[in-house]
Amino acid sequence: MARYDLESLITDLKAICQANLNAKLTAIDAEKADGLTSFQIPTTAYLFQDLRQESIAPHKAIMFFGVDDPESNGIGPATLERVEIYFIVICQRLPDALEYHTRLLRYMRALKEIFEENWHKIPNANRFTISSLSPTTLEGPGFQAGYKAVGVKVQAILS
C-alpha cells in the first residue's frame, strides 16, 4: 500500500472541494433565499500557490490553495509531519460592499462545512483540524483591481 503523504492529502482535499463546494454554495444561497447568488468556482480556477494577476483575472472567484510551514519532528523512522494546507477563495471586489461581505461569509461557511462533512474520506482523519481564516483584502502589486479573500486552514499530522 502506498504511503499517505502530503501530496496524497492535498490531492484528496482538492478533490473534496471540487466535488462539493459549488453544490454547497448553491444550497446556502437557497437556504438564505435573499436573491444573492455566490460565484461558482470552476475546476480550472483551482490554483496551487499561484497568485499572479493573469491567473486570477479571468474569473470572478478562484480557489487558491497550498501548503504553509510544513514541520517534521522525530527520531529516526518515527518522524511525524505537521502540515497546514489552506484553501482560500479570492473574488473580485464588487461595487456593493454588503453583497460582497455576504458572499465572503458564505464561502467561509461552505468550505468549513464541506471539510466537516467529508472528513471520513481522509485516512487518519482524527489527526486533523479545520480553522476559518478571517476575510481580508488583497492589495499591492498585481492586485490593482482589488480582491477580497476568505478561507480555511486544515492542519494535519502525517506519520
Read off the pLDDT of residues 61-102 as tens digits, 9 standing for 90 and up: 899 999 988 778 777 777 778 889 999 999 877 666 667 788
The verdict on residue 81 lying in a domain is yes
Range of the structural domain that residue 66 is part of: 6-158
Q: 32 by DSSP, 3-state: which?
A: helix
The verdict on residue 1 lying in a domain is no
The x, y and z cell numbers of residue 97, run together, are 460592499
d(CA 32, CA 85): 29
Give me the CATH number covering residue 72: 3.30.70
Dihedral sign (CA 52, 156, 135, 25):
positive
Residue 71's region, left for phi above 0, alpha for psi from -120 to 50, else beta, is: beta
CA dihedral 52, 56, 57, 58 (to 10 degrees): 130
The x, y and z cell numbers of residue 105, run together, are 461569509
Domain count for the chain, please give it: 1
Q: Of residues 3 and 126, which shows the higher confidence score?
A: 3
The x, y and z cell numbers of residue 127, run together, are 489527526
- 46-48 and 61-75 beta bridge pairing: parallel
Phi, psi for residue 148 in degrees, rounded to 5: -115, 155
Evaluate whether 29 touches 103 at the Cβ level (below 8 Å).
no
pLDDT at 29: 96
Is the confidence at residue 158, as pLDDT, over 90?
Answer: no
The verdict on residue 141 lying in a domain is yes
Is the confidence at residue 108, as pLDDT, over 90?
Answer: yes
The verdict on residue 136 lying in a domain is yes
Asked whether the whole model's pTM tops 0.85, one would answer: yes
pLDDT at 144: 59
pLDDT at 123: 80
Read off the pLDDT of residues 121-148 as tens digits, 9 standing for 90 and up: 888 756 788 999 988 887 766 565 678 8
